Amino acid sequence: MIAGTDTLKRQAVDLLNESGKLRYSFTAFSAQHTELTYYLVNHALAGYKLNFLDTVIMTFLREVVTNAVKANLKRAYFEQRNADIKNPGQYAALIEAFKREGVANIEDFVPIMKELGLKVHIYMETNIDGLRIIVQNNCGMTNEELLRARERIQAASAADSVPELLEQFGDESEGAGLGLLINVILLKRSGIGIKNFQISSDEKSTRVAITVPRSFQMPAQVAELYNRITSEIERIPTFPESVQRIINLCDNPRAEISFLASEIEKDPSVAASILRLANSGGFVVGTRVESIHRAVTVLGIKNVRQLVLAHSSRQILDKHYKVFEEFWEHAARVALYCRLIAERCGFRKLADSVFLGGLLHDLGKIVLHSLEPETVKKINGFNLARTENSTAVLEEITLGLSHAEVGARLAQKWNFPPVLIDMIRNHHSAFAADVSHSVEVSIVHLADAFLRVEENQASYVYFDIEAQAHLNIANAKELQAIHEWVKEAAGKQVL
């Protein structure tokens, strides 16, 4: 959470609870606004016992708000250049430059937008029918744009399944159209329905409204998959007793190292991986570590605990599922990036903790891949290149649970520490992290997102602003510089 917003958030929720209505406005959507919005949405949904829809609604809102701000920004950009946005010739001459300069440098245009009175308003209303949210900006759509948007909504709502929709529209590269499509899929598949989504426009403004009906029910098909995945998680074994004993000893400050070492020796595969780590770079120079006792001393109890968790998770998953090597390669790379980001952003103390978070962040993918390989492949192949959590949300509405949530449930079952569970659960939705873990979650989020940029699956513009705020990253330039540094530092290390 960002300092100073705590009281504000509580006041806003009180106001919404008391009067059933709330309105707030902004020029650009900042980290504080996302957190405030998430907080309000989460509380409002809780009133109807519909909290599980919070990521769906947030994804919807972030998309809508981003587009609303962008339309205002476009207007400011054209007015600053004395160009008429409605004149086709002038529009064509400037639009490419706007996409290059305007979208990436939104901070530069905030004063101009303020001067022109360009704002985005969010209205929330809670009543007997459910939660209603309206997002409004200061830019009217042309008739043609409105028609196109409505056609698109119609076409998307006619399709039957997510894969079908993805095939039909998957090659769309233009942002706003694709964003709208994602939202239609979201509402349709989540069970909220298209009829609860309205878009209207006049000369001066565009309004997008959504209603979450209190009588909401998860679609039967999704509920069935949800149940299948949940019972699969139940079937996955817990850690063996020998491993549990080692972890308990690590947690006991009075436990003797020699006793811990003798417990580790009873589990040959844990013992072997501890020796391997103790002998890898960074821990000892010169002499080889031959005994477990010495290895524990060299690594420290905290590292031993981390290693045992990582090792045992991998063993169980490897035994139950066909896990592809690329999965662990990705995990190892994210883990390394996590450590480097922690060092670079001034959180050196968290380096070990986020390393483990990076290693285990995608655990849930293994389960989903093996249960629903075809659907998952299609979702992953659909390059949304937009919001960081699109894939997770698509999984949620198609399968009932995202890989992040599946991983978190598995981590809960395995008694992982709360911070680790949070890193797994929210690595695609840093805004939803618990206040006390926001830095750790943001680091894992950023490490994963950097790799997506390297694979051409994401761009800096759509990075989570909350994660950047938690890590004190001021702007896109700084973000890019950190990425370059991390990439170079990682290149020097052997994975």
- Positions that interact with Fe ion (CB under 5 A): 362, 448
Measured in degrees and rounded to the nearest 5, phi and psi for residue 205 equal -155, 160
How far CA 426 is from CA of 57, 316, 317, 354, in Å, comes to 15, 23, 21, 13
SS3 content of the chain, % helix, strand, coil (to 5): 70, 5, 25
- CB nearer to Fe ion: give 451 or 489: 451
> What pairing do the DSSP bridges indicate for beta strands 130-136 and 21-26?
unpaired
Least Å distance, CB 375 to Fe ion, is: 16
Gyration radius of the chain over CA positions? 24
CA-angle at 218, arms to 162 and 385, nearest 5°: 35
CB of 45 to Fe ion, least distance (A): 24
CA 372 vs CA 1, 70, 228, 367: distances in Å: 35, 37, 10, 9
Of 35 and 448, CB closest to Fe ion: 448
Which CB atom, from 182 or from 296, has the smaller least distance to Fe ion? 182
Q: Nearer to Fe ion by C-beta: 353 or 402?
A: 402
Name the minimum Å distance from CB 318 to Fe ion. 18
3 state DSSP class of 19: helix
Least distance in angstroms from the C-beta of 444 to Fe ion: 9
SS3 237: coil
Cβ proximity to Fe ion: between 422 and 448 the closer is: 448
Q: For residues 263 and 362, which CB has a smaller minimum distance to Fe ion in the complex?
A: 362
Q: What is the DSSP string of 387-445?
A: STTHHHHHHHHHHSS-HHHHHHHHHHHTT--HHHHHHHHTTT-GGGS-GGGHHHHHHHH
For residues 132 and 95, the answer to whether their CB atoms sit within 8 Å is: no
If one counts every other C-beta atom within 10 angstroms of the C-beta of residue 207, the result is 16
CB of 391 to Fe ion, least distance (A): 7
**What is the rounded CA–CA span in Å between residue 397 and residue 59?**
12
Residue 23: half-sphere exposure toward Cβ, Cα within 13 Å:
7
Nearer to Fe ion, 71 or 367 (CB): 367
Which residue from 72, 43, 73 is spatially nearest to 57, judged by alpha carbons? 43
CB of 355 to Fe ion, least distance (A): 14
Q: How far is the CB of 427 from Fe ion (least distance, A)?
A: 6
CB of 111 to Fe ion, least distance (A): 37
**CB nearer to Fe ion: pick between 263 and 448:** 448
Shortest spacing between CB 327 and Fe ion, in angstroms: 9
- Hey, is 164 helix, strand or coil? helix
Give the span between the Cα atoms of 374 and 413, in whole angstroms. 27
Q: Which is nearer to Fe ion, 372 or 448 (CB)?
A: 448
Residue 452 C-beta: closest distance to Fe ion, Å: 8
Given the complex with Fe ion, which of 424 and 465 has the nearer CB atom? Answer: 424
Q: Which is nearer to Fe ion, 396 or 448 (CB)?
A: 448
Q: What is the DSSP code string of 27-54? A: SS--HHHHHHHHHHHHHHHHHTT-GGGH
Q: Nearest distance from residue 455's CB to Fe ion, in Å?
A: 10
The enclosing H or E element of 130 equals strand 130-136
